[in-house]
Structure 1
Amino acid sequence: MSNVDVLIGARIKGRRIALKISQTKLAEAVGVRFQQVQKYESGANRVSASRLLLIAETLGVPIAYFFQGLDSTTTSDDTPSSEGARSTTPMNALSDARVSEILALVETLPTEQQMAVLAFLRTLSKTSETETA
């Protein structure tokens, strides 16, 4: 299991949950069993390119959606290349199913509402900082 597989799985799960689609329905739509969807979502199994395309179509997103949060400094074995190290913080955050679900839900909102959610989260973050200080 690699960070990329975990990230893609979390993005699948977040989008599926945001659309209120069960693992069984997604599995039927892409021609696998629901257990396979579970393995994709956990990052235990890699999703083939053709299957990922079917998943993207089913979930109504471009295939690039699943790769948001990755950068070009990752090599095929998921180690940073010598050209520059990348922060693992965005990868860790995006591989969290809760964060992926939040992102998927926010993406369904009109731009004005997205901005309102962002303002709310900024305010909430500042509130929690002052409570811990």
Structure 2
Amino acid sequence: MVTKSTGPVDKLIGTRIRLQRTAIGMSQEKLGDILGITFQQIQKYEKGTNRVGAARLQAIADALSVPVSFFFEQRSSVGDTPDAAPYGIQDLLTSKEGIELARAFLKIENPAMRRALVDMARAAATAPRAEES
């Protein structure tokens, strides 16, 4: 008997679940309650440890208010591995700090202040590390 293992598509789907869930401020526990499963199962989906069946994926899409296609948007064709999001956007939006930063940035109405924040972030990213100077 062949055992089923997870692969890059399962990890992509899990990452996209987490991305949308955190973007709308929903906890794993809340999503699990909506779906009638434990938050531990949500964790396994998000890590790509467990596969998400088609019916469950539709239920997750409904709970997160996205179309099912949202979970596959970074795949260009069948058989491809997940593409890296440009400039690490996906990594940013799947971290707690990144989501907090994005939410705060979107609340800044002053264009000059937004530009100054981007310039400061760029400078911080290119500055030598403390141990290097």
Find the aligned partners of 2:117 and 2:59 in 1 and give their Cα distance. 33
- 1:33-72 per-residue CA deviation (whole Å, 9 max, x = no partner) reads 2111010010101111111111111111111111121111
- Structure 1 runs not aligned, ≥5 long: 80-85
Flag the 1:45–1:62 CA change in 2: closer, same or farther, 3 A: same
User: RCO higher in 1 or 2 (8 Å CA, sep ≥ 6)?
Assistant: 1
| Equivalent AA in structure 1 for residue 30 of structure 2 | K
**8 Å Cα contact 2:14/2:45 also seen in 1:** yes
- Structure 2 runs not aligned, ≥5 long: 1-5, 129-133
Is 2:132 aligned against 1:127? no
- Could you tell me which of 48, 51, 54 is aligned with 1:46? 51
Q: CA deviation at 1:90?
A: 3.3
Tell me the matched-pair count.
Answer: 118
Is 2:34 aligned against 1:32? no
Is 2:72 aligned against 1:63? no
Normalising by the residue count of structure 2, what TM-score does the alignment of the two structures yield?
0.63
| Equivalent AA in structure 2 for residue 18 of structure 1 | A
Please, what is the CA RMSD of the aligned residues?
3.8
**8 Å Cα contact 1:8/1:43 also seen in 2:** yes
Is 2:28 aligned against 1:23? yes
The DSSP-based 3-state class of the residue aligned with 1:65 is helix
Normalising by the residue count of structure 1, what TM-score does the alignment of the two structures yield?
0.63
**Identity rate, percent:** 39
**8 Å Cα contact 1:10/1:42 also seen in 2:** yes
Q: CA deviation at 1:129?
A: 6.4
